[in-house]
Amino acid sequence: MSKIDRRILKTQEALKTAIIELMTEKSFDDITIQNLSDKANVSRGTIYLHYMDKYDLLDKLIETHINELRVRCEAAADVDFVTGSVIWTEYFDQNYTFFSTMLASKGAAYFRNQFLEFLIEEFKDEVDNTKGKNEGFNKELVVHFLASSYVGVVEWWFMNEKPVPHEILAEQLGGLLERICE
């Protein structure tokens, strides 16, 4: 694996920070490349060296966070739902600005859909509709219910500026997951 120049990483990080900061100030549609250039203190040309446009920058940023959640999910594969939820809610808490901005901005629908699709994939293997509480229920319906509920609760947590600590959020989400999936 080739080593990436630290200047490139620094520039990309500055642009990712700039887009989030700008999205807290104005609608994503109103953000220009010049706004990004000014906020990140890089030239417009530098932006185009790294990204096709502001949409590409946002896509890459969202992809980075979804991939990190995936990695954390894989790392938590052998733990109970509460412990797994702690791993996720710690990440949500550590990246509060990103998630709260994504869920509060006009571009939220795009991020929300990406997050929902990710959760649907993750929960598919957790739901068993052949026995127990879920016996006889349509598996796809249960998975969509579960994923939509999870997104809704996480969205509520961010939109209400973390009304409970992330540990409490994790404990209760994990407990609810255990009730539905076991």
Express each pLDDT in 99-150 by its tens digit. Answer: 999 987 756 678 889 999 999 999 998 888 888 888 899 999 999 999 999 9
Q: Is 19 exposed, middle or buried (0-12, 13-18, 19+ CB in 10 A)?
A: buried
pTM of the model: 0.85
Q: Do the beta carbons of residue 99 and residue 158 sit within 8 Å? A: yes
Task: Provide the terminal-to-terminal Cα distance of the chain, rounded to the nearest Å.
Answer: 41
Residue range 148-173: mean pLDDT, rounded: 94
Q: Do the beta carbons of residue 38 and residue 65 sit within 8 Å? A: no
The Cα–Cα gap between 176 and 101 comes to: 26
Q: Could you give the 3-state DSSP secondary structure of residue 89?
A: helix
Nearest to 64 by CA among 102, 105, 21, 120: 102
The Cα–Cα gap between 4 and 9 comes to: 7
Express each pLDDT in 56-66 by its tens digit. Answer: 999 999 999 99
Domains of the chain, each with CATH number or no CATH:
1-51 (1.10.10.60), 61-181 (1.10.357)
